[in-house]
Amino acid sequence: MITTTVEATRQAVAAARAIGKRVGLVPTMGALHAGHLSLIQAARSENDFVVVSIFVNPTQFGPKEDLSRYPRPFERDVELCERECADLIFHPTPEIMYPPSFTTYVEVHELQKVLCGASRPGHFRGVATVVLKLFNVIEPDVAYFGQKDAQQARVLSQMVRDLDVPVALRICPIVREPDGLALSSRNVYLNPAERAGATVLYQSLMRMRQRIDAGERSADVLIAEARQRIDATPGARVDYVAIVDYDRLQPMPRLKGKVLVALAVYFGTTRLIDNVLMDVPAEPEA
C-alpha cells in the first residue's frame, strides 16, 4: 500500500494497531540500496506492520547542496519495498510535510553544531524536524536507522529522550561494499577514479582502529596520520577527521570510553561520510 497524505497514513496504521500489530518505521529519502534493505529486514523481523517512508526532505539540504539532483527512482524503490514485504510506503510531497503556513522546527542544540553540522548548517534541524513529524504521523513502536549516519542517530536519540517521544530507536550496522566503502545513495555520483579513491575512508578508519587497539590514545596523532593518508589520495579533499566522545560529540585529547571516529571527505562535489564506534579502555596507570 502507498499513501501520500497524513490522514490516509494514520488510517492505515490505526487499522493495523486495531488488530494488535506492532509497528516498525524505516525513514528514508529513497534511492534504496542494500543498507536501507537491511533496515527494512530488521523491521520486518521485529514487527507485524512495517512502514517505509520515502521523502527527499528539502529542509536538510543547504542552498548549495544536491537537492535537485538527488536520485529519485521511486518505482524501483517500491519494487524493493515490496520484495522485502513492507506493508506501507508513506510517500508525501514537500507540500504535505511543509504546508505554506509551516513555521515550526526542532533543534538539538550543541549536538547539531559539530562534525557534519559545522559544514552543513541547518542540516540536523531539518533532520530532527522531519523525523519528529514522521513519528507523530505514524507513531511507530520502533524506528530503524543506520550507523553510517552516526551523528544523526545521536541527535535523534537526544530528541526522543528530551521530548519524551514514545518510540524505541534501533541503530543497525553499516552495510559495506566488498572493498569496505559504506553504501550510500550518493555513491552513484562517483566517477570510476573517485570510486576507486573512496576506499581510503574505510582504510583510514581501519588503520585508526588498529592503532587504538594497539594502545595509541592520542587523538591528535591518529587524526594527523589519517589526514596524511587521505591527502595522499588523488581527488580526495578532507572536510573533517574527528575523534569525539560519543555522548557529547566533543573532541577528546586522550581516548577513553565510548568513542566515535568519524570522517567526511569530498571526491569532486560528492561528500562521503563514514565512522566506527569503539569502546576504548582507559590507559593503564603508570
Q: Indicate if 33 belongs to the active site.
A: no
For the record, the C-alpha cell of 14 comes out as 490505526
CA–CA separation, 69 vs 8, rounded Å? Answer: 29
Give phi and psi for 171, each to the nearest 5. -105, 115
How would you label 226-255 residue by residue, b for 16+ Cβ within 10 Å and e otherwise? bbebbeebebbeebbbbbbebeebeebeeb
SS3 for 177-189 is CCCCCECCHHHHH
Q: Which of 33, 36, 91, 123 is catalytic?
A: 36
Q: In this structure, how many other beta carbons lie within 10 angstroms of the beta carbon of residue 141? A: 18
Element (H, E) at 95: helix 94-97
Residue 9 vs residues 5, 39, 100, 140, 274: alpha-carbon distances, Å: 6, 20, 21, 12, 33
Residue 277 phi/psi, 5-degree rounding, is: -110, 130
Whether the CB-CB separation of 16 and 87 falls below 8 Å is answered with yes
Strand partners, 182: 176
Contacts of residue 93, Cβ cutoff 8 Å, sequence gap at least 6:
4
Active site amino acids = 36
